[in-house]
Amino acid sequence: MRAIGIVAALEMEIAELLGLMQADVVRHRIGRRDYYTGSLLGCPCVIVLARVGKVAAAATTVTLIREFGVASVVFTGVAGAISRHVNVGDVVVAQSLLQHDLDARPLFPRYEVPLLGLSHFDADPDLTRRLSSCATEYLRQDLAADGPARAQLSAQFGITRPAVHGGMIISGDSFINDAQHVEALRTSLPDALCVEMEGAAVAQVCHEYDVPYAVMRTISDRADGSAGIDFNAFLQAAASRYATGILRRFLVLQRERDAA
> Is residue 143 part of the contact set for ligand ADE (CB under 6 A)?
no
Ordered alpha helix ranges (H), 75-198: 125-137, 147-157, 179-188
3-state helix, strand, coil in the chain (%, to 5): 40, 25, 35
Asked whether the beta carbons of 13 and 2 are under 8 A apart, the reply is no
> Is residue 16 part of the contact set for ligand ADE (CB under 6 A)?
no
State in angstroms the smallest separation of the CB of 195 from ligand ADE.
Answer: 5
Residue 152-181 contact track with ligand ADE, rule CB under 6 A, x = bound: -----------------------xxx----
For residues 101-140, which are near ligand ADE according to CB under 6 A?
A: none
> Is residue 196 part of the contact set for ligand ADE (CB under 6 A)?
yes
State in angstroms the smallest separation of the CB of 77 from ligand ADE.
Answer: 7
Q: 106 preceded by cis ω (within 30°)?
A: yes
> Is residue 229 part of the contact set for ligand ADE (CB under 6 A)?
no
State in angstroms the smallest separation of the CB of 196 from ligand ADE.
Answer: 4
Select which of 173, 221, 230, 258 is catalytic: 221
Cβ proximity to ligand ADE: between 125 and 228 the closer is: 228
Asked whether the beta carbons of 119 and 207 are under 8 A apart, the reply is no
For residues 40-79, which are near ligand ADE according to CB under 6 A?
A: 78-79
Task: Return the residue of 60, 61, 96, 220 that touches ligand ADE, per CB under 6 A.
Answer: 220
- Listed in sequence order, the residues at least 6 apart from 120 whose beta carbon sits closer than 8 Å to its beta carbon are 96, 97, 98, 111, 168, 200
Check if 178 is active-site. no
Instruction: Indicate the residue whose CB is closest to ligand ADE.
Output: 80
Task: Return the residue of 223, 237, 238, 243 that touches ligand ADE, per CB under 6 A.
Answer: 223
State in angstroms the smallest separation of the CB of 176 from ligand ADE.
Answer: 4
Task: Say how far apart CA 101 and CA 186 lie, in whole Å.
Answer: 14
Question: Cβ of 27: how many Cβ atoms within 10 Å?
Answer: 11
Check if 221 is active-site. yes
- Listed in sequence order, the residues at least 6 apart from 249 whose beta carbon sits closer than 8 Å to its beta carbon are 134, 137, 138, 142
Task: Say how far apart CA 18 and CA 20 lie, in whole Å.
Answer: 5
Chain centroid, CA 132 distance in Å: 12
State in angstroms the smallest separation of the CB of 116 from ligand ADE.
Answer: 23
Interacting residues toward ligand ADE by CB under 6 A: 78-80, 175-177, 195-197, 220-221, 223
